[in-house]
Structure 1
Amino acid sequence: MHIRSARLIPYSLPLRQQWQNSMGGFCEREGWLIELSCNNGAKGYGDCAPLQVAGTESPEVAKQWLKEQLSATEGKSPAQLLRRYTAGIPQTPAACFALETALLDLIGQSEQVTLRRWLNAKATDHVLVNAVIGTLDDSIEKRALYKIEQGFTTLKLKVGVRSPQDELLQLHELAQQLPEKIRLRLDANRAWNPRDAEYFIDGVRGLPIDSLEEPLREADLELLAKLQNRADCSLALDESLAQLHIDRLLVHPPVKRFILKPMVIGSLLSTKKLAESAANASVECVVTTIVDSAVGVLATAQLAAAIPSSRHLAQGLATSEWLAEDIAEPLAVINGEMVLPDTHGLGIGPITTT
């Protein structure tokens, strides 16, 4: 099997409402769908959805890299190309993620196995996911209860948008309305100085908090370790992982959890290796998207199903509902779980973009 042609298909997907955090927001996701066609009729797909605020390259850089690489794929086998694009740390992670996904899609189809079982023969067929319910505004309680009715048990919301005092007051009010076993996952997006972080961590003590992501504006290993010792929930690192060098962090982990984004890391395979290394260091991992298209979400869900150490944690994959339009039918979420397709390869359905 060899690649006969490659296409780069642009898309622009409006959000139902603005995605907001302490670093700003966006109201649409723009990117490119990679389509690799082989001589046997098989097609492989990958999603390139750069988002610089999340840590990827710029859209311009991603597009240029993809154009250059796709022009050199003709006549080569997916396995041959995969070896080339998974070496080293990519400078164009969103573009590399897309190309690798398309190649893995083709390889899975060729070997007649789902992508998740190509990654791990003991992969599961479903993934526990959290619901994303936005910021602590006046309708947060309504959104939380709606998601609970849908079967979600972990609810993720943004903090660090208003003052710690105001957000703590509203969090306590929200917690009083939650049924037992419901957990809140908080993301501060590096909003606070050390004093505010300590104040907030003390203020949520005793609440049903699953984790608190990125509490410090300036990541400091010693301060993070002190905050983790102070907290009665897991602290998590996300955007700071790149600047702190994740390999070094695994020697003496300052927090209990890492957030891994394949679109930012640049590779499903590399993300899987990082998760395995983290598990060996007793660090939990949650795999998440950056509001990708249905293709990107499915690829990341296939990976999550192949990581044994993360199966008890809700993954950050239920973001498709934020999109008013998509390029394919998104995965269904039933009672807080994503059910993955049994189709060989990536398993994406019909592509709706032209």
Structure 2
Amino acid sequence: MIERLELRPYALPLRRPWASAHGAIRLRRGLLVRVEAKGLIGYGDCAPLPEAGTEPLVAASAMLERWAHAFVGCDPEQLLTEIDPLDETAHAIGCTPPKERTPAAHYALACALADLLSQQRGICLRCWLNPAACARIAVNAALGPVAQVDAAQLADCIRRGLRVIKLKVGIAPLEDELAVLRALERAIEPGLADRLVLRLDANGAWGLAQAHRFIEATARLRLPIESLEEPLADPDPLRLAELQSQAPFALALDESLIARFAGCDPRALGVRRLVLKPAAIGGLRRTLALARHTQGSSLEVVITSLIDSAAGLWPTAQLAGALANPLAHGLGTGAWLARDLGTPPLIQDGWMALGDRPGSGFSA
């Protein structure tokens, strides 16, 4: 039974602002969730980001405070079933939402309980979720706004084995950002250009005409584009399908999945890829079930974090390992934090090693 459920507030500064079309983030505030039973401790991280589809921190904190008083003495496995049900029929976006719309709080407690339960069984969290899980996962580099990136930074990522490089677009005027991409194309050495792909994220910055213009221009670049996330400010499946038919790369949906398409069949959204943020979906097992269904429908799936602390990054990475697909996941964000709650997973040559330690791998 759960002997103690504690919440520890934190505030972690970033090394530099995390900028997107939604604005800039300079500080990550959240709660470290700590669940104790039989001498073992499970950890979860509640760091909401409303622009990514979660509740505000005040709502998440209120829910977790309520649980901290109510759940002492409860069976952790039964509680996890209530918080994050093992529902392999969860085939629509947000089709099994939390009873109250606090997905980041639900995800944090689900992670802490899953960490605890997998430790009790003596196995790593990813293997607890899927015995055929991968021990290491590919990750992308996250460099921030395209206008702040130069060819030397791209070359450094490539030399460190980070082949997929994510850049934010939709922040500066469209033609200015296209000019930057063309300048990068001219500046980077041809031998290095062959070893990278760009993953672009507009965060819903554009109208349909601007998105068409951007796709048309980037399709002619020598620098290969792997995907473009959230191209439209007002997305709908027909417009997205129109854009996807034009694009030679995958279009992807991320924050609009919960905000705009809750209850929808992911196969009907008009894009080739979904970017799943477990803290916005509300659970480890709920996210895994949706991802499996989506992949079974021939859609691509990428798991990403929310610029989490190490306490949040570890279980999210274990979830990506349980998914066991070859795409680079958006989990290379630990270096953005000037300080952390613990040591994040090691990234080497573009791969994140998860190890075999029982539980999520996080320790405070």
TM range (shorter): over 0.9
Question: Would you say 1:147 and 2:157 are equivalent positions?
Answer: yes
In structure 2, which of residues 84, 93, 111 is the aligned counterpart of residue 86 of structure 1? Answer: 84
Which portions of structure 1, spanning 4 or more consecutive aligned residues, are displaced by more than 3 angstroms? none
Per the alignment, residue 14 of structure 1 pairs with 13
Secondary structure of 1:275 counterpart: helix
Question: Would you say 1:61 and 2:71 are equivalent positions?
Answer: no
Question: Would you say 1:272 and 2:309 are equivalent positions?
Answer: no
Check the 8 A contact 1:50/1:94 in 2, yes or no: yes
Secondary structure of 2:3 counterpart: strand
In structure 1, which of residues 337, 340, 353 is the aligned counterpart of residue 351 of structure 2? Answer: 337
Instruction: Look up the equivalent residue of 1:231 and give its one-letter code.
Output: A
Shift, 1:247, TM fit? 4.8
2: CA distance between counterparts of 1:221 and 1:138?
32
Give the TM-score of the pair, scaled to structure 2. Answer: 0.92
Question: Would you say 1:318 and 2:316 are equivalent positions?
Answer: no
Mean Cα displacement is larger for which, 283-292 or 133-142?
Answer: 133-142
2: CA distance between counterparts of 1:172 and 1:195?
20
Give the TM-score of the pair, scaled to structure 1. Answer: 0.95
Query: Which structure 2 residues correspond to residues 20-35 of structure 1 after superposition, within 5 A?
Result: 20-35=19-34
2: CA distance between counterparts of 1:333 and 1:293?
15
Check the 8 A contact 1:123/1:305 in 2, yes or no: yes
1: CA distance between counterparts of 2:33 and 2:3?
14
Unpaired runs of 5+ residues, structure 2, are: 86-95
Secondary structure of 2:78 counterpart: helix
Check the 8 A contact 1:253/1:283 in 2, yes or no: no
> Aligned residues, how many?
346
Secondary structure of 2:74 counterpart: coil
Check the 8 A contact 1:11/1:32 in 2, yes or no: yes
Query: Which structure 2 residues correspond to residues 73-112 of structure 1 after superposition, within 5 A?
Result: 73-87=71-85, 88-90=96-98, 91-112=101-122
Per the alignment, residue 89 of structure 2 pairs with none
Check the 8 A contact 2:207/2:234 in 1, yes or no: yes
Unpaired runs of 5+ residues, structure 1, are: none
Instruction: Look up the equivalent residue of 1:46 and give its one-letter code.
Output: G
Check the 8 A contact 1:292/1:320 in 2, yes or no: yes
2: CA distance between counterparts of 1:293 and 1:319?
9
Per the alignment, residue 116 of structure 1 pairs with 126
Map Cα deviations across residues 45-79 of structure 1 (whole Å, 9 max, x no partner): 00000111211111111111001012112112210
Identity percentage of aligned residues: 41
2: CA distance between counterparts of 1:267 and 1:193?
32
Shift, 1:86, TM fit? 1.8
Shift, 1:139, TM fit? 4.1
Measured on the aligned residues, the alpha-carbon RMSD in Å equals 1.3
Shift, 1:244, TM fit? 3.5
